[in-house]
Amino acid sequence: MTAHESNPEFPKGFLWGAATSAYQIEGSPLADGAGPSNWHRFAHTPGLVSGGDNGDVACDHYNRFLEDVALMRGLSFNAYRFSISWSRVLPEGRGRVNEKGLDFYRRLVDALLAAGIEPFATLFHWDLPAALEDQGGWLNRDIAGWFADYARVLIRALPGVRTWATLNEPWVVTDGGYLNGGLAPGHRNLFEAPIAAHNLLRAHAAAVGACRAEDGRRVGLVVNLEPKYAASGSAADLAATARADAYMNRQFLDPVFLGRAPEELSGMFGEAWPRFPPADYDLIRTPIDFLGINYYTRAVVKDDPQALPTRAARVRQGGSLHTEMDWEVYAPGLLDTLTWVKSRYGDIPLYVTENGAAFPDPPEAGPDGIADPLRVAYLRDHLRATREAIARGVDVRGYFAWSLLDNFEWSHGFSKRFGIVHVDFATQRRTPKASARFFADVIRSAGAVLDGTA
Ligand code: BGC
């Protein structure tokens, strides 16, 4: 009897691992013929990233991936979620393939398979080839075809990867990249955000089609969901909560599963909401094999006419613990999210593709490594919430902690540590934190250890 069979609460074959993304950990962004990405460009623009940090070295995973695979094996992972750098493989974003870039991912996948770790790959985790950015990026309708072509190259080159996610968090790409400007490409334009969102959806569906053409692959989408709770029972707060939910949670899922945009959006964006060809929605609702959910926090929402586009604002919950990102720690929100997805969109296989927290870790490792009790509690409570969702009949098939390593946290640079493994960026030494050891114990006991901890 395997460990998984001894515990009916986490299903047999449940995937246990951690997630990362290319620009956040790889380093060497221009090595071996790679082209620059928009994140390379953004991070090298003075003033855009905290501390002037960039991904030139990051966790040096490009050179240390074998060590990192061994680390994961030591933590008993049976899966690893990572992303591909599009411009490493296609330096101009389309056309010419850079075989050396592709080789890096071939070697990574081979090492994972040899270690008994299932590769779970994401095609786009925010680093767009700069050459495509120069042609309009996500604002150019042609990007759906470019993305499908890129997907085809990868899927054929990496037959060992059976599970593919198209996009990571399209909402963050549009909100951060095109509306609020804090992420690449750094635009602030109400008119651009819905266009970028629509083309992300079209590109996703085109890549699903490309993946479908290859045998034996499973393909899905990864979104970040944040349940919205009304701050009061007033009609104004309830309507604001519905708008916030439509914008962040339903903007991408309603088109994919229901073939239409949430009706709140056109009212919210007003004249900035374009009329999209109805046929686009027939493509966008191409069936997917799974949905990945990234969960970090919830939002308690009140009406706020100044907050565009939703006219809804978050009410900070003073009594709650908050992370270094000032995100409220709220594990019941993960249970609510998983059950909500099933009730609204049906019984699709789900993965928790990211879940984790940045906390101020001690700067030096003690005799037992790095003590990070807040992160241990965070993981424990969210793993319990995941298990509860399964007990209630939600088809959750895996859980990936964010993140394997402390890494480049986008516009925050290296100032926020999300890793379950500490990285000393001066020496690149990796030290598992207490949370990594706790997570490994959860995996080895198939969740039984969750019952024994306070
Ligand atoms: C992203 C990660 C990011 C994490 C923490 C998610 O939005 O997918 O790339 O590091 O959250 O902010």
The predicted-structure confidence for 192-201, as pLDDT tens digits, reads as follows 999 999 999 9
Kindly state if the Cβ of 354 falls inside 6 Å of ligand 1: yes
| 18 CA → ligand 1 middle, Å | 12
Confidence of residue 125 (pLDDT cuts 50, 70, 90): very high
Percent over 70 (pLDDT), the chain? 98
Burial, 161: exposed, middle or buried (Cβ in 10 Å; 0-12, 13-18, 19+)?
buried
d(CA 95, CA 389): 44
Kindly state if the Cβ of 175 falls inside 6 Å of ligand 1: no
Percent over 90 (pLDDT), the chain? 94
Provide long-range contacts, Cβ within 8 A and 24+ apart, for 375-380.
Answer: 375/420, 375/433, 375/434, 375/435, 376/434, 376/435, 376/438, 376/453, 378/323, 378/329, 378/331, 378/435, 379/355, 379/420, 379/435, 379/438, 379/439, 379/442, 380/438, 380/442, 380/450, 380/453
Give yes or no for residue 452 having a pLDDT over 60: yes
From the list 382, 362, 356, 380, the residue with the least C-alpha distance to 439 is: 380
| 370 CA → ligand 1 middle, Å | 22
Q: Which atom of ligand 1 is nearest to the CA of 403?
A: 10
Burial, 310: exposed, middle or buried (Cβ in 10 Å; 0-12, 13-18, 19+)?
buried
The model's pLDDT over 29-51, given as tens digits with 9 standing for 90+, comes to 999 999 999 999 999 999 999 99
For domain 3-223+283-293+322-451, which CATH number applies: 3.20.20.80, 2.30.40.10, 3.30.70.20, 1.10.10.10? 3.20.20.80
The model's pLDDT over 389-407, given as tens digits with 9 standing for 90+, comes to 999 999 999 999 999 999 9
Do residues 15 and 120 lie in contact, with contact meaning Cβ atoms separated by under 8 Å?
yes
Q: Tell me the CA end-to-end span of the chain in Å, nearest whole number.
A: 28
Q: Which atom of ligand 1 is nearest to the CA of 168?
A: 8
From the list 194, 203, 362, the residue with the least C-alpha distance to 267 is: 194
Which residue has tokens 């586009």? 309
Across the range 259-265, mean pLDDT stands at 97
d(CA 55, CA 85): 12
d(CA 283, CA 161): 25
Do residues 376 and 435 lie in contact, with contact meaning Cβ atoms separated by under 8 Å?
yes
Q: Which atom of ligand 1 is nearest to the CA of 358?
A: 5
Kindly state if the Cβ of 323 falls inside 6 Å of ligand 1: no
Four-residue CA torsion sign, 88, 90, 96, 97: positive
Do residues 151 and 86 lie in contact, with contact meaning Cβ atoms separated by under 8 Å?
no
d(CA 393, CA 346): 12
163-168/218-224 β-pairing: parallel
Mean pLDDT score of the chain, rounded to an integer?
96
Substitution candidate for ligand 1 out of 26, 294, 402, 408 with most atoms within 8 A of CB: 402
Sequential DSSP letters for 345-358: H-S--EEEEE----
Pick from 125-129, 150-154, 249-253, 365-369: least confident = 365-369
Tokens coding 240 = 């604001």
Confidence of residue 365 (pLDDT cuts 50, 70, 90): confident
The model's pLDDT over 148-200, given as tens digits with 9 standing for 90+, comes to 999 999 999 999 999 999 999 999 999 999 999 999 999 999 999 999 999 99
Position 74 scores a pLDDT of: 98
Give yes or no for residue 368 having a pLDDT over 90: no
Q: pTM of the prediction? A: 0.97
d(CA 68, CA 384): 27
Sheet hosting strand 299-303, strand order edge to edge: 228-230, 299-303, 312-314
Do residues 25 and 421 lie in contact, with contact meaning Cβ atoms separated by under 8 Å?
no
Position 9 scores a pLDDT of: 81
- Bridge partners (DSSP) of residue 275 are none
The model's pLDDT over 203-261, given as tens digits with 9 standing for 90+, comes to 999 999 999 888 889 999 999 999 999 999 999 999 999 999 999 999 999 999 999 99
φ, ψ dihedrals at 76, nearest 5°: 70, 20
Q: What is the largest CA-CA distance in the chain?
A: 61
Do residues 300 and 229 lie in contact, with contact meaning Cβ atoms separated by under 8 Å?
yes
Give yes or no for residue 8 having a pLDDT over 80: no
For ligand 1, atom 10, name the residue with the nearest CA. Answer: 409
Number of H helices, E strands in the chain: 18, 13
| Catalytic residue IDs | 169, 354
Burial, 272: exposed, middle or buried (Cβ in 10 Å; 0-12, 13-18, 19+)?
middle
Per-residue CA distances from 138 to 127, 149, 187, 203 (Å): 12, 15, 12, 9
Position 4 scores a pLDDT of: 41
Give the helix ranges, DSSP H, for 394-444.
434-444
- What is the residue extent of each domain of the chain? 3-223+283-293+322-451
Substitution candidate for ligand 1 out of 169, 226, 354, 404 with most atoms within 8 A of CB: 354
| 174 CA → ligand 1 middle, Å | 14
From the list 278, 280, 275, 271, the residue with the least C-alpha distance to 309 is: 271
Position 5 scores a pLDDT of: 43
The model's pLDDT over 414-433, given as tens digits with 9 standing for 90+, comes to 999 999 999 999 999 999 99
Q: Any residues with CB less than 8 A from the CB of 217 and at least 6 apart, and which?
A: 155, 161, 162, 163, 164, 211
Give yes or no for residue 286 having a pLDDT over 60: yes
